[in-house]
Structure 1
């Protein structure tokens, strides 16, 4: 991503993610960003009411992951569900490079990337165009003065409700107790979502199809992981 792209973020709403760059990329990662990102990213610019199935002509549905980190979950889900198109959002350039490596090392063709603020994509997607959304261990912004930066807030929840098709599902996970409370209130505050938990293990234990992420293994939060699955009514 070029310097002008980074500078453009200054004029956008408050950032819900931290740095977009970090330590220097490895030679392979740098090459992937320079030569392969344009192949795997969504078409630019994305037109209003963008239909994601248009870039996955053989897919039955499209799933969206917001904040895919190192891409472990995104790549594994795409490999396990070849009939589904996947869009992964992640502004951190090293994570984007790792995702491209995973996509190409596994010979996947059903993934496209959005290396930018996910909210820009939410605004552009057509209504009811996504069948499933994953938000797994987003930046928790644990300090009280930072919590306004958390992604899951009522306006974003409303955007997610708009793009999810009826019967679609959304999975949220965090290991920060205050974020778990805040997110649950935000989702339940929107009449479009129904919490599917029937017993405590439904939010205490990872779902059967979960793929452990790199961040999850670090156990940096203040509680055991909490899992919320919601149905789009």
Structure 2
């Protein structure tokens, strides 16, 4: 399977570096580049890639707004956006996760890390180490969400789905959820998928954000 990638970064040298790296990889291909958020959205709508590497800060509209527009387009449901940042804890990453980003990568990552990350996201799996995702979410929930918001959204979930969602927020894999709740990993995956559908979450990263925002999980728990 060849993974189709769009590169969105306002620095041509950054795009050139990523393209040179991906061009050397048989199963990864760059189908478009963009130097700003508006062109990034246009490129995604035109090429329908599997993965977008999206810089957070770009002229026109930034990477967060571009991600929001991509996530809001039902025709692009299968597109996964990965934010590129210079800092591990970036003030904008939490907003990007809220609007549908599958995760984030540091620009100074090793080449093999980049290749693995792209393949992982394209396969629909969780990109980030759960602990890293959780630390980012906790930090910005602590700063921006003093009280639970939209807790009534959880009314649509079964008790088991709430349990599973809480464990996802704690960084558990499907296999670990299965062990914790005495079920198979496949059953755990099914509960995760149902919770995502009911809450309109694109992926596990958004599910983690929602778990904190709705008060299902509190900062500092587990």
Shared fold, TM over 0.5: no
TM-score normalised over the length of structure 1: 0.34
Greater fraction strand: 1
